[in-house]
Amino acid sequence: MAFMPEKQTTSIATHTNDDIFIRDKSLCGDLIGKLSFTQMAFFQITGRMASEAETAMVDACLVTLMEHGLTPSALSSRLIYSSAPEAMQAAVAAGIMGVGSTFAGTMEGCAILIERILNSDADMETEAAAIAAEFRANKRPLPGFGHHMHKPDDPRSIRLLAIAQEVGVRGQWITALTTLSAAIDETYGKHITINATGAIAACLGDCGIPAEIMRGFALITRCAGLVGHIHEEQHKPALRAIWESAEAAVPYDGDISGH
């Protein structure tokens, strides 16, 4: 059981009659009008101000994950909004629940593999080869690798890793990712792309974002994307088309001849 101090405290925020203080900074005097949304999110989550390079990198990651078409999360938000248009928050929440280990949130799993490589007593190549062999033997999907549509390479990953190089945040996390990528290609006997969440895991890691909070950045940006889908649903409703398409794609296979 984790140690619980006698008195619980928070290091995030408090307020007075005249101001609000977030991590010892005045909201009105130090933050509003002086930090971008990305800078403020980084500061509020990590407790430190991001460097210019880190801000540019995190911003690029947030832009990358905001939108990817009619994915399960977007479909969920559209359907729930059409069912309960009085509760936009319910529609966004429904879509956010789809950000997990299969879609959008896989940077967390990839980050765990990268941390394993970085913390191993073996060299990077040896540990990366061991990971690739384990996943192939167990026939498990590799978090951060592969894409059903973007082949041979995910263009988002190429751009993100290029930005990391341009702004100067490329470090051990990206090196470990590319080492793992080479080991995977060697072990599987074919090229498997680093996908966007894999690149984001490494880029955020080199910005000092802990693995256990990385999925939160996917949630932050996907919220904005889902609001966009809801806005379109308000003006160009797709519910009926989605509903009818689902019924056509998944027909009933029972016997109703006797009724």
Domain range summary for the chain, segments of one domain joined by +: 13-49, 51-237
User: 145 with 191: CB under 8 angstroms?
Assistant: no
| 59 has a pLDDT exceeding 70 | yes
pLDDT at 2: 62
Q: What is the pTM of this model?
A: 0.89
Distances in Å between the Cα of 18 and the Cα atoms of 15, 35, 152, 198 are 8, 20, 56, 44
User: 156 by DSSP, 3-state: which?
Assistant: helix
| 112 has a pLDDT exceeding 60 | yes
Task: Please give the mean pLDDT across all residues of the chain.
Answer: 92
Over residues 171-185, mean pLDDT? 97
User: 144 with 135: CB under 8 angstroms?
Assistant: no
User: How far is Cα of residue 112 from the mean position of the Cα atoms in its chain?
Assistant: 14
User: 61 with 163: CB under 8 angstroms?
Assistant: no
Query: Could you tell me the pLDDT band of residue 69, with boundaries at 50, 70 and 90?
Result: confident
pLDDT at 209: 96
Express each pLDDT in 75-105 by its tens digit. Answer: 999 999 999 999 999 999 999 998 876 666 6
Q: Which of 52-56, 209-213, 226-230, 239-243 has the lowest mean pLDDT?
A: 239-243
User: 202 with 173: CB under 8 angstroms?
Assistant: yes
Over residues 52-63, mean pLDDT? 97
- For residues 178 and 209, give the distance between their C-alpha atoms in angstroms, rounded to a whole number: 19
Over residues 161-185, mean pLDDT? 97
User: 26 by DSSP, 3-state: which?
Assistant: strand
Q: How many CB atoms lie within 10 A of CB 100?
A: 15
The CA angle 36-58-127, to the nearest 5 degrees, is 160
| 164 has a pLDDT exceeding 70 | yes
CATH superfamily for domain 51-237? Cytochrome P450-Terp, domain 2 (1.10.230.10)
